[in-house]
Amino acid sequence: MKDYTGVRWMPEHNKWQSMIRHKGVSYNCGMHVEQKAAVIARDTCILNNGLKVVLQILKPLNKK
């Protein structure tokens, strides 16, 4: 499996956890059954909060 920043396997829950830390603030993006869902949740959090962090799967919308 590919490694993604901010996503890790939690064996005690049998799920993937996603989170992001940006400028001293932690954002919990939840626990997910699939790794890809955890990465998408993290990317969505980045977009929703306007964070200046590189996305891993999603692509930002070009604003005119």
CB 23 within 8 A of CB 30: no
Strands lying side by side in the sheet with 25-32: 7-10, 15-22, 25-32
Count the Cβ atoms, other than its own, within 10 Å of residue 29: 22
Q: Which residue has the tokens 């996603």?
A: 18
pLDDT at 59: 83
Domain ranges of the chain: 7-48
Which pLDDT band holds residue 62 (cuts at 50, 70, 90)? Answer: low
Mean pLDDT of 27-44: 97
